[in-house]
A and B are shown apart, each in its own frame.
Chain A
Amino acid sequence: MLEIRGLRKIFGAGKVALDGVSFAVPAGQMFGFVGANGAGKTTTMRIVMGVLQADEGDVLWNGRPLTFAERRTFGYMPEERGLYQKMRVGEQIDYFGRLHGLGAASVGKARDALIGRLGLTERVDDTVESLSLGNQQRVQLAVALIHDPELLILDEPFSGLDPIAVDVLAEVLHERARGGVPVIFSSHQLELVERLCDSVGIVSAGRMVASGSVEELRDAEGRRLRVVVRDPKPGWADGLPGELSKEGDRDVLTVVGGDDQAVLRRAVEAGHVEFFGVERPTLVEIFREAVA
C-alpha cells in the first residue's frame, strides 16, 4: 500500500506546486490521477519516484518511509518519455531489466512475454528511433514493466495511443492490479479513468480536491433528478426546487434532493412526461464541479 501524506513542494520562484496532497492506494487498486495541466499530478509522481524531493510530507510504503531498495522494485513511466534512441528495442528492455536486478535468463523470458503482449515482437531488433511514437510508447511501457514491479506509476500512459493499443494497455494494467500491484496513472481521458479505475483523485492547484471511488464521488455530488415534459402548462414548475430550462417545446427540470414523487405528480399534471429519472453525474461533471 502506498500512502502519500501532506506533500508540499514550492518551486524556485515561490510557485506552490503542491499544497498538502494526501491519498492512499492499497494493494491491487487502480488509482486514476486527474487534474488540469499544471495541477500537480506529475510533481506528485516525480516525488514518489525520487526524481524530486518534497519540501514537506511523506511517502510511505507499507506504513514505512519508502527506501531506495523498495523504490527499485517500482515501475515508472515518466511524463517525458526517455529511451536510448539508437539502442535496439529488445536490448533496451533487457538493459533496464538487468539494472533492476533481473538475471540474464529471467530477463529474456520476461522480455519475450512482454513484447508479445504489447505487439512488439517484430520490432525487437529495430532501433527505438525507427519506431512510430505509439510503438515507442509501448517500449517505454515494457521498460516500466520488465521487472514485474510491485507498484506502477505511469504518467499519461494512454496519451498518443490508438484505440487498440489503449485496450491492450488497459488490460495489461488490469492484470497487474489483479496481481495485487497498486497502479497509479494520470490521464486527461476521463471516460477511460472512469471505466478503469477503482478510485480517483482530482487535483487542482496543488490540492487534492476530491478523492475516493467513482461511486463515492458520485454520491458526494448528490442524487440529481431530471424531468422532461413536452408541451407543459406555463408556470407548472413554480415553487418546485431545481433549475428549469427550455429545449424547444420541452421543459427540462433538474432537481438535486427534495421529494421526487411530488415533482412527478406536478409534471404529470403539467403535460406529457417524456423522461423521469435519477441521473448520476459522469466523472467529467464531477471533475468540472471539483476544480471550478
Chain B
Amino acid sequence: MNGLLMVAGREIRTQVRTRAFVISLIVSALLTGGIAFAPKLFGGPDEYNLGRVGGQELAVQALAPEAKIIWKTFPDEQAASKAVLDGDVDVALVDSKRVLTNGEIDSELGLLLQSANREAQIGAAGVTVTPLQMQSVGADTRYEGARQGIATVVVLLLFFMIMSSVMVVAMGVVEEKGSRIVEILLISIRPWQLLGGKIFGLGVVGFVNLTAVVAAGLVGAFLSGFATDFPPGMAGIVVSAVAWWILGYAFFAALAGSLASLVSRQEEVGNVLQPMMLLFLISYGVSFFASTNPDHPVSEILSFVPPFSSMVMPVRMAASEVALWESLLSGALMVIAVAAVLMVGGRIYERAVLRTGRRLKVSEVLRTK
C-alpha cells in the first residue's frame, strides 16, 4: 500500500506542478462558471423601459410579474420619440392611444401592451375579468427544460473529465514502459502498486479538476439566478454525477492502463486504445440520447450495463426521476465491473509492461507467463 501511495504522490505532484494543469484548471472553471452565469447576461428575466406621454401607465407589471418594468414620462411626443430612437426607452405610449416604436416592436412586449390596454379598457367599463386557472393532469413538467439542460451538462462533463484523466494514465504507462523506467521501478514495487498508484494519483488530480469545474458551475448558476430553475434533488444529481465519474474513471483508466502496457511508443497509444475508445464513445452516444430520451428502453437498459451505465445512469438521473434502487443496483454492477477490469487489466499490465519492443496482443499476454 505504501508503494502505491508513493507512486500516487509522485503522479499528483508531477501533474499539479505543470503549468498546463494550473491553466486548464482555471480556464475550465472560469468557462463553466461563465456558461452558468451567461443566462443573466444574454437572456435572464426581461427588462422593459417604457416611455409615456400623457395618459395613464398600463398595468403591464401585473401581467408579467417576473419582468422588470420601468416607466419614464416625457413632456411631449417629440421628446418621447427621440428617447425611442436613442434607445433610452424600448417604446413610448402616447396618450394611451399610440405606441411609438423603433421599427418592429418586440413581439412579447407588443402582446403585453395590447393585453394591458384591453384589460384597462374592459376594467374602465366596469367588467372584471377572472383569469383562467391552469391545471396540469400530466406529470410535473415544470422542470423539464432545466433537467434537459442539466443532463446535457452532465454528459459533456463526464465525457471530457473521464477522457482527459484516462489519457494521462495511458500516456504515463507508455512513458514508463518505453523509457524502461519500469525496469527499475519494478525492483522495488509490484506491478499492481505501480499501475494502482498511477490510476489513484491521477484520479485524485482528475477529481480536483472535476470538483473545481462543478463548483464553478454552481457558483455561476447561483449568481446568475439560474439556480432558481434547478429541479428538486439537484444536490443528489450533482453528487451522483461525481460518484459516477469516479466509477467511470476507474473502469476506463484500468482498461487504458492495461492496454497501453502492450505498446512501447507513444505513437502507438491511440491505436492500442481503440477498443476502449469505441466503448467510451458508445457510452457517450447513448448517454447523449438518454439526456433527451431518459425513459426510452435503450436508455433504461443501458443504464444498468457497465460501463455504459457510468455515463447513462447519471444522465438519466438528471433528465428524469430514477428510483433509488435503480441507481444502487446499477452502481453495484458497475463496482463489480471495475473490480473485474482492475483484476484482468492488472494481470495484462504485469505481464506486458516489461516486454518492450513490438506491440503485444492481449491473447498472447494472457496465454504466456
Q: Which residue from chain B places its CB closest to the CB of A140 in the assembled complex?
A: B184
Of B14, B175, B181, B187, the residue contacting A71 (CB under 8 A) is B187
Secondary structure call for the B interface: helix
A96 touches B369 (CB 8 A): no
**Would B14 and A51 count as touching, CB distance under 8 A?**
no
| Chain B residues closer than 8 Å to A46, beta-carbon distance | 183
Given A52-B354, A53-B369, A98-B6, also A82-B14 (CB < 8 A): no
Chain A residues within an 8 Å CB radius of B175: 84
| B354 contact set on A, CB distance < 8 A | 51-52
In the assembled complex, B185 has its CB within 8 A of some CB on chain A: yes
**Known A-B contacts A86-B14, A87-B14; A50 and B187 likewise in contact (beta carbons under 8 Å):** yes
- Provide the bound-state CA to CA distance between A157 and B188, in Å: 21
0/1 per residue, A110-154, Cβ < 8 Å to B?
Answer: 000000000000000000000000000000000110000000000
**A178: interface (CB < 8 Å):** no
Specify which of B10, B14, B187 is in contact with A76 (CB 8 Å cutoff): B187
Give the distance in Å from the alpha carbon of A71 to the alpha carbon of B188 in the complex: 8
Contact A96 B188 (CB under 8 A): yes
Q: Which A residues lie within 8 Å of B184 (CB)? A: 76, 78, 82, 96, 143-144
Distance in Å from the Cβ of B17 to the closest Cβ of chain A?
9
Instruction: Looking at the assembled complex, report how far the CB atom of A120 sits from the nearest CB atom of chain B, in whole angstroms.
Output: 18
B-contact 0/1 string along A40-84, CB 8 Å cutoff: 000000100111110000000000000010011010101011111
Q: Do residues A74 and B187 form an inter-chain contact, with CB atoms below 8 A?
A: yes
Assess A82 versus B186: contact at CB under 8 Å? Given A53-B369, A95-B6: no
Cβ-based interface call for B189 (8 A):
yes
| Beta-carbon contact of A82 and B189 below 8 Å | no
User: Assuming A51-B354, A87-B14, A95-B6, is B182 touching A82 (CB within 8 A)?
Assistant: yes
Q: Does B183 contact A76, Cβ atoms closer than 8 Å?
A: yes
Q: Please, which residue of chain B has its CB at the minimum distance from the CB of A49?
A: B187
Chain A: minimal CB distance from B5 (Å): 10
0 or 1 for each of B4-20: is its CB under 8 Å from A? (1 = yes): 00110010001000000
Q: Does B265 contact A (CB under 8 A)?
A: no
B180 within 8 A of A: yes
A80 contacts B180, CB within 8 Å? yes
**A-B contact count, CB below 8 Å?**
56
List chain B residues, Cβ under 8 A from A100: 187-188
Complex: chain A residue closest to B180, CB-CB? A82
Residues of B within 8 A of A81 (CB): 180
Give B283 Cβ to nearest chain A Cβ, in Å.
32
B3 at the A/B interface (Cβ < 8 Å)? yes
Complex Cα distance, B180 from A81, in Å, reads: 7
Residue numbers in B under 8 Å from A95 (CB-CB): 6, 10
A80 to B182, CA, bound (A): 11
Q: Kindly state the separation between the CA atoms of A101 and B184 in the bound complex, as whole angstroms.
A: 14
If the complex has contacts A98-B6, A99-B189, are A85 and B179 also in contact, measured as CB distance less than 8 A?
Answer: yes
A73 to chain B, nearest CB (A): 9
**Does B6 contact A84, Cβ atoms closer than 8 Å?**
no
A72 cross-chain contacts in B, Cβ below 8 A: 187-188
Chain A residue at minimum C-beta to C-beta distance from B178: A82
The reply to whether A82 and B187 form a contact with Cβ atoms under 8 Å apart is: no
Distance A44 CA – B179 CA, assembled complex (angstroms):
20
Which residues on the A side are within 8 Å of B185 (C-beta)? Answer: 99
| Closest Cβ neighbor of A84 among chain B residues | B181
Instruction: Report Cα–Cα, A215/B87, bound state, in Å.
Output: 104
What chain B residues lie within 8 Å of A143 (beta carbons)? 184
Closest to B354 in A: A51
Q: Are A99 and B6 in contact (CB under 8 A)?
A: yes
Contact A82-B3, Cβ < 8 Å, known A50-B187, A72-B188, A76-B184: no
Q: How far is the CA of A96 from the CA of B187 in the complex (A)?
A: 10
Select which of B3, B14, B183 is within 8 A of A99 by beta carbon.
Answer: B3
Bound CA span A223–B181, Å = 47
Give, as a whole number of angstroms, the nearest-CB distance from A32 to chain B: 22
Q: Would you call A51 and B181 a contact (CB within 8 A)?
A: no
Within 8 A of A (CB), among B146-191: 175-176, 179-190
Which residue from chain A places its CB closest to the CB of B175 in the assembled complex? A84
How many angstroms between the C-alpha atoms of A82 and B190 in the bound complex?
18
Contact of B179 among A51, A74, A82, A98 (CB under 8 A): A82
A83, B189: Cα distance in complex, Å: 16
CB neighbours (8 Å) of B189 from chain A are 99
Q: Are B188 and A51 in contact (CB under 8 A)?
A: no
Q: Which residue of A is nearest B3, CB measured? A: A99
| Contact status A49-B183, CB under 8 Å | yes
CB distance from B266 to the nearest CB of A (A): 12
Inter-chain contacts of A98 with B (CB < 8 A) = 6
**Please, which residue of chain A has its CB at the minimum distance from the CB of B358?**
A12
B contact residues around A80 at 8 Å (CB) = 179-180
Question: Whose C-beta in chain A lies nearest to the C-beta of B18?
Answer: A86
What's the Cα separation between A80 and B181 when bound, in Å?
9
Closest CB in chain A relative to B323 CB, distance in Å:
47
Q: How far is the CB of A156 from chain B (nearest CB, A)?
A: 13
User: What residues of A have a CB within 8 angstroms of the CB of B7 in the complex?
Assistant: 99
What are 20 pairs between A and B in contact, CB < 8 Å?
A: A46-B183, A49-B187, A50-B187, A51-B183, A51-B354, A68-B190, A78-B180, A80-B180, A82-B181, A82-B183, A82-B184, A83-B179, A84-B181, A85-B179, A87-B14, A95-B6, A99-B3, A99-B6, A143-B184, A144-B184
Give 11 new A-B contacts, CB below 8 A, not counting A50-B186, A72-B188, A95-B6.
A46-B183, A51-B186, A51-B354, A52-B354, A76-B187, A78-B184, A82-B179, A82-B183, A84-B175, A84-B181, A99-B185
